[in-house]
Structure 1
C-alpha cells in the first residue's frame, strides 16, 4: 500500500457515511449507503456494512483502491 492521505475531522469521532463524503470518496449520502451495502468499503482492512460505524483517529478507510486515514484533533487537556 502506498501513502495514505490524512483527512482531518472536527470531533473525536465521525460516522462512516459522513467520512466518505468528507474525504471526497463519494458524492452523496445515498452513494455512501450503496457502496457500504455492496461491501465495497473497508475499515482497517475489514469489510464494513454499517453506515453508522463510528470512526476514530487512526482508522483507515478504503474504497476503490483509495485509502484515507481519520485524523482527529489532538486533545491537550
Structure 2
C-alpha cells in the first residue's frame, strides 16, 4: 500500500497537521476528531492535539466515513 507523504518542512503539531493535510476542515474539527479517538499516530490512538510531529510519523484518521493514512514528511 502506498502512503501519501505530506511535506511540512519541520515540526508541526498534530492538530495543525490534520488541517494542513486536508484531514480536518478546521482547528475545531481537528480537535473533535482527536478528542473522539479517531486519530492514530504510528498505530496508537493519540488524544493530544499539541503532539509534536517531526517527520516520518504515520497519521491515520478513521472517522466513520473513511480511513485515510498519510506520512509526515
TM-score normalised to structure 1 length: 0.86
CA shift, 1:10, in A, is 2.5
Count residues in correspondence: 69
In the TM superposition, structure 1's runs of 4+ consecutive aligned residues that sit over 3 Å from their partners are none
1:1-77 correspondence runs (5 A): 2-11=1-10, 13-64=11-62, 65-71=67-73
TM-score (norm 2): 0.91
- Provide structure 2 residue ranges, at least 5 long, that are not aligned to the other structure: none
Distance in 1, matches of 2:49 and 2:16, equals: 8
- Unmatched segments (≥5 aa) in structure 1: 72-77
RMSD value over aligned CA atoms?
A: 0.7
Structure with the greater alpha carbon radius of gyration: 1
